[in-house]
């Protein structure tokens, strides 16, 4: 019996994944347990292994996004052929049922996107053609350039809207280019039917309430020639999440100077420790204690209510060549400074080696991001959804402090707290940041668990 290759569900929050690459060509023989494809979620990259021995038959193209449970391909035995769609039973994969309609992608992928080659999409955009009207002739119904050209040649020329010099004023053209609006979608309000700047602005205002409309009308022409780099994989996920974060939350940032002399002295005394805590470990320890005292920041905004979470799990941003991952120090408020250091050392090493487990990336309730190692004094971090706050950490710099009228050298560091103003106001946010500052300036309190 043919053995299916599913898009796996790797965690409770995973709903879809990207098929990044087939590791074995279609038609080649594979053994049980052999990696056949690599996939990427919004958290990790991993491989799918064959559950049987046989001949690989690919159904889906790499680079596309598919829902959990979708059949990506088959392992076929001697003389077997891939089943027809009507023969494929519903599959329960961690309580996700795969129905007939989402087993094999046709024109639309599982996220509702049109399955089309990049060249076909560009050509359709240039010609003002709606891809949903085209039947694809490529693998699994994928639309290719030839499909767009054929559709364009058969479509009446008057059905494709074109703009002449008199259709839009120069001010309207300039405004549309600035806002990324396709002028062909803008309605004129004047008697001479010419599109004016006010029409473009009204179009933006009217479409602001609809996410679908906004994505439809976002139309950007390249301003010059250059290398085109597809937005995919981890970079695509980060772009989507950060853009969504800024759109969905009322984010504000405050900055505080922290004197780090005591932390520097204490760290020198800890040189004999198995794992020497870094300054980020001091920050994580202080943040964890502060969250226990200020649970509003350890929360999540839901529909009409705020959920204050029981666990305090601190996400630690780790920069990789291809993007950013945020492994999690679980129950950080219950760990000593040394235990936190051991956790962060392991997580950072596994992150850079690409060996993080899904459990290392899930459940974060607050995040810490440091750019101090790059010489950055301060910055405005963006909240990692669904958290309600994130702390940015700058470099430790030499500064001057004053004891009455006497100057002295001091080592200082800027911490930057970004929080969701829907969850709490500025005064309690400042109080939370001050608690972090106090912990760092009195680091002996971080060594053990209170």
**Catalytic entry in 57, 353, 425, 431:** 425
Catalytic status, residue 6: no
Q: Compute and round to an integer the Cα radius of gyration of the chain.
A: 27
Rounded CA-CA distance 280/41 in Å is 27
The residues facing 49 across adjacent strands are 35
Rounded CA-CA distance 364/351 in Å is 16
**CB-based contact 17:40 (threshold 8 Å):** yes
**Catalytic entry in 94, 130, 243, 421:** 421
* Sign of the dihedral defined by the CA atoms of residues 370, 373, 374, 376, in that order: positive
* Sign of the dihedral defined by the CA atoms of residues 273, 275, 276, 280, in that order: negative
Dihedrals phi, psi of 369, to nearest 5 degrees: -130, 130
Catalytic status, residue 425: yes
Which residues carry out catalysis? 421, 425
């Amino acid at each position: 019996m043919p053995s299916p290759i599913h898009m796996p569900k790797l965690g409770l929050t995973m709903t879809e994944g990207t098929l990044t690459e087939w590791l074995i060509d279609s038609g080649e023989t594979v053994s049980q347990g052999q990696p056949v494809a690599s996939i990427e979620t919004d958290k990790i990259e991993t491989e799918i292994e064959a559950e049987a021995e046989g001949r690989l038959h690919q159904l889906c193209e790499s680079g596309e996004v598919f829902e959990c449970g979708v059949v990506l391909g088959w392992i076929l035995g001697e003389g077997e052929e891939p089943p027809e769609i009507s023969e494929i039973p519903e599959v329960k994969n961690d309580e996700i049922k795969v129905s007939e309609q989402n087993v094999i992608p046709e024109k639309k992928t599982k996220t509702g996107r049109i399955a089309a080659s990049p060249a076909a999409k560009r050509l359709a955009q240039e010609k003002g053609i709606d891809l949903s009207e085209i039947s694809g002739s490529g693998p699994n119904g994928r639309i290719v350039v030839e499909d767009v050209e054929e559709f364009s040649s058969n479509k009446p020329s008057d059905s494709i809207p074109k703009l002449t010099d008199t259709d839009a004023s120069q001010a309207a053209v300039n405004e549309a280019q600035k806002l990324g609006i396709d002028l062909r979608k803008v309605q004129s309000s004047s008697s001479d039917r010419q599109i004016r700047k006010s029409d473009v602005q009204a179009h933006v205002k009217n479409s602001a309430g609809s996410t679908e409309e906004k994505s439809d009308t976002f139309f950007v022409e390249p301003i010059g020639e250059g290398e085109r780099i597809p937005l995919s994989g981890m970079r695509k996920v980060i772009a989507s999440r950060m853009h969504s974060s800024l759109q969905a939350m009322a984010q504000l940032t405050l900055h505080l100077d922290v004197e780090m002399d005591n932390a520097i002295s204490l760290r020198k005394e800890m040189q004999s420790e198995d794992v020497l805590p870094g300054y980020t470990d001091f920050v994580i320890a202080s943040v964890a204690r502060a969250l226990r005292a200020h649970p509003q920041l350890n929360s999540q905004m839901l529909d009409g209510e705020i959920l204050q979470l029981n666990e305090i799990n601190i996400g630690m941003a780790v920069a990789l060549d291809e993007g950013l991952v945020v492994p999690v120090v679980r129950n950080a408020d219950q760990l000593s400074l040394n235990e936190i250091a051991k956790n962060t050392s392991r997580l950072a090493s596994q992150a850079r080696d690409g060996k993080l487990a899904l459990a290392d990336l899930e459940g974060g309730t607050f995040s810490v991001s440091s750019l101090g190692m790059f010489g950055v004094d301060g910055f405005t971090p963006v909240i990692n959804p669904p958290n309600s706050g994130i702390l940015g950490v700058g470099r430790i710099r030499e500064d001057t402090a004053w004891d009455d009228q006497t100057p002295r050298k001091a080592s200082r560091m800027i911490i930057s707290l970004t929080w969701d103003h829907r969850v709490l106001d500025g005064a309690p946010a400042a109080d939370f940041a001050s608690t972090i500052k106090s912990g760092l300036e009195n680091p002996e309190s971080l060594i053990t668990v209170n």
